[in-house]
Structure 1
């Protein structure tokens, strides 16, 4: 019993020692994990602190970003305002230069296209005349020849001049003739014009185009004249084209090479139009007789053309699609300008509608009125030493007067050739002016005063 009791006590002692060892190990492990937990909590707290610091920094940076964005927006608005201001000054400067007939360096005034078909000798003569004055201003007036058809001799002439860009129109579409007896040429010409203008405006993106034909010579100041008047097409929307031609430009009817007029009658024969006007014309372009179509009131819509007193083109084309119509009477005697005009020194602001109407009306009102019913009206006009005005009240009366003095009798859609507000003006016996006018012409020009004393 004693042995058993002693063994039990030893067992209990061993168990107690083992338990104590286990408890110590557990305490050590708990202490270790407690330290780790404490470290983890400390690390977590540090992370939270750092996170808060980062959030604070981010918030601070975000505030700065917002402030910078606001400052950027402010600067961008300021930049936009300054840009608009610069553009405004540039536009004003451009307008000033245009009003002074100055083209910005490197700026193209207009492409020049010579319309050709089957007259190589005429084309060569025209090209020599044009290049004589175009080469010094080639950067402002790039030159093209557009040939309708495939005559090889015409192509050879055009390509024989390295300054020329050659275009070729080979029409394959059937002609839309209204009358089988009509001349095919007028339909082909209209088709060619539409194709060439589409090529230059829509494909090559020129803003203005000057159209010549292959039977024209030009004056020495041809290009200066168009450069000087180009601004008007942008500034005065009542003007849709500038022409170098005066139908009554025969030697006996002109005097002043610096004189320019507005006209309700489309002159053609060397004229400049804009891409804006072309976009209006292109969808409605006629199958034939394009020039007469441009003279219709429905096409013109009350707008006007600019033309000189003395022509800047001379038409030598006695042989062509018009079969020499009017050539001897009206074309051959045309005076081609040979006077040097310094267009850059001229103020052409008077051509704007309101000012032109006012000044033109004043000149007409000062002229001596003569009766239109007397057969000796020509002698009466010759006998006085001042400008005269003669009224007509019908097409028949106008044609009678025109026949007596020898100017163009033709009348299109209610408008005589060269007329503006019904007024046809030409020189007589040198410097003196003769005005044919309707009874309402002065009213249409806005003249409200009494007759001005002479």
Structure 2
């Protein structure tokens, strides 16, 4: 029995070694499995990270593709717009070449500064009648200063109007104390703009408008007819579309034109030859020359607010009658306005007018049929008579507004004409014993 027990113990030792070996192998296998599992988890995490990165890259690329497509669309649109603009410019260039066969009657310049709303109203009025005669009357806007609203408004008409800008930083020195600096600045702007149009652009004539004016339906036809007068008669300094006594109650005949020693302004045409004399010093250099003006205005001034601070607006400007009919100026014989004929023509009108004297001249005139003439003795007397009729009293440089050889003519209870006559007017006109 003891021998058998001894033998059984011998078996336990190898069994113990075998068990230990198996445990060691099992532990090694488990460790290897755990390492592989860890590697697998790391690999899975890396794969997931790479997948997410790839997805993000794809997403970013898709966004870039969308952005590129949108950019391409914008570029295509811009290209289309540029092509249209180039085509338009080519057409306009061709039109300009064609238009060179049509010699312009005059350039038209709208003088502007800082009133964009006024400018827009003026442009609308001018374009209404200029579009059909654009080749005869190239249109410009000349801006004094850098008001951004005025510049933007002017440039918005780039395909219809040429834009010029005058920048002047030089100080202003007035000739007399108390004078408005604004008028000196305006004069500088006028000189610069006219120099540009006459010398740079080489126009023969220029029509000057301000940025607070509307024009009549026959405005351009009127100036075309007047241009022929300027060419024939060098005693005419300029042609105006304005009558200072053009208020509704003082006008009647839209065909009537007059010569005047007083510069009317407010829509006027000047020739290059005359500007050659005026430009160097910008002083009055009339040399006895006169102006042509209409009885019924071809412009209307709506500018209550501006450099003149509304002077005379309600009394004299607001009631102005602007012509509203289309006069056929081409069929009119205007030769009576030439210097060698006009004095006799005007003298005949004055000679037939009935002389009126007395204290209440307006009332007496009302009770007379036909034209009348009233003589004044001096400026003070003229102003007193003008107040009775409520026409312009103002004189400048010794000349009453609208006067021709001292005579101011206006309608009163139309079609009656009133002639206010200076002490020397009849002699100047060769009217004796009248």
Rounded Cα–Cα distance in structure 2 between residues aligned with 1:412 and 1:176: 22
Q: CA deviation at 1:181?
A: 4.6
* 1:317 correspondence with 2:317: no
- Measured after TM superposition, the shift of residue 236 of structure 1 is 0.8
- Secondary structure in 1 aligned to 2:347? helix
The answer to whether 1:211 aligns with 2:228 is no
Matched, 1:447 2:431: yes
Partner of 1:284: 281
Q: Which residue of 2 aligns with 1:366?
A: 352
Instruction: Provide the C-alpha distance between the structure 2 equivalents of 1:352 and 1:375, rounded to a whole number of angstroms.
Output: 37
Stretches of structure 1 that go unaligned for 5 or more consecutive residues are 1-103, 287-293
CA offsets 1:240-298 (integer angstroms, 9 cap, x no match): 10000000000000000000000000000000000111010011115xxxxxxx4xxxx
Alignment of 1:200 with 2:179, yes or no, is no
Which position in structure 2 is the counterpart of 1:55?
none
Residue 119 of structure 2 corresponds to residue 135 of structure 1: no
Q: Output one character per residue of 1:88-119: Cα deviation in whole Å (capped at 9) or x when no partner.
A: xxxxxxxxxxxxxxxx9712100000000000
1:174 is displaced (CA, Å) by 2.0
Counterpart mapping for 1:38-437 below 5 A: 106-161=102-157, 162-178=159-175, 181-285=178-282, 294=284, 299-371=285-357, 374-437=358-421
Q: Distance in 2 between matches of 1:300 and 1:356?
A: 18
CA distances 1:227-249 after superposition (whole Å, capped 9, x unpaired): 01101112111101000000000
- Relative contact order: is structure 1 or structure 2 higher (C-alpha 8 Å, sep ≥ 6)? 1
**Once structures 1 and 2 are overlaid, which stretch shifts more, 328-337 or 157-166?**
157-166
Segments ≥4 residues shifted beyond 4 Å? none
Residues in 1 aligned to 2:184 and 2:396: alpha-carbon distance in whole angstroms = 20
Q: Distance in 1 between matches of 2:362 and 2:171?
A: 51
CA distance in 1 between partners of 2:252 and 2:174 (Å): 43
Give the TM-score taking structure 1 as reference length: 0.72
Report the CA distance shift for 1:418/1:377 in structure 2 as closer, same or farther (over 3 A): same
CA distance in 1, matches of 2:189, 2:112: 9
CA distance in 1, matches of 2:182, 2:267: 20
1:313, 1:367 → 2: CA distance? Answer: 29
Verify the 8 A CA contact 1:358 1:447 in the aligned structure 2: no
Which is further off, 252-261 or 156-165?
Answer: 156-165
Deviation of 1:375 after TM superposition, in Å, equals: 2.1
Displacement of 1:352 in angstroms is 0.4
**Over aligned residues, Cα RMSD in angstroms?**
1.4
Cα distance in structure 2, aligned partners of 1:306 and 1:181: 32
Correspondence for 2:28: none
Tell me how many residue pairs correspond in the alignment.
334
Q: After TM superposition, give the deviation of residue 357 of structure 1 in Å.
A: 0.8
2: CA distance between counterparts of 1:169 and 1:325?
26
SS for the counterpart of 1:284 is coil
**Residues 105, 336 of structure 1: alpha-carbon distance in 2 compared, 3 angstrom cutoff:** farther
CA–CA distance in 1 between the matches of 2:203 and 2:219?
Answer: 19
Distance in 2, Cα, partners of 1:177 & 1:419: 29
Please identify, of 258-267 and 185-194, the stretch whose mean Cα deviation from structure 2 is larger.
185-194
Q: TM-score, normalised by structure 2?
A: 0.75
TM-aligned CA distance change 1:206 to 1:442, over 3 Å? same
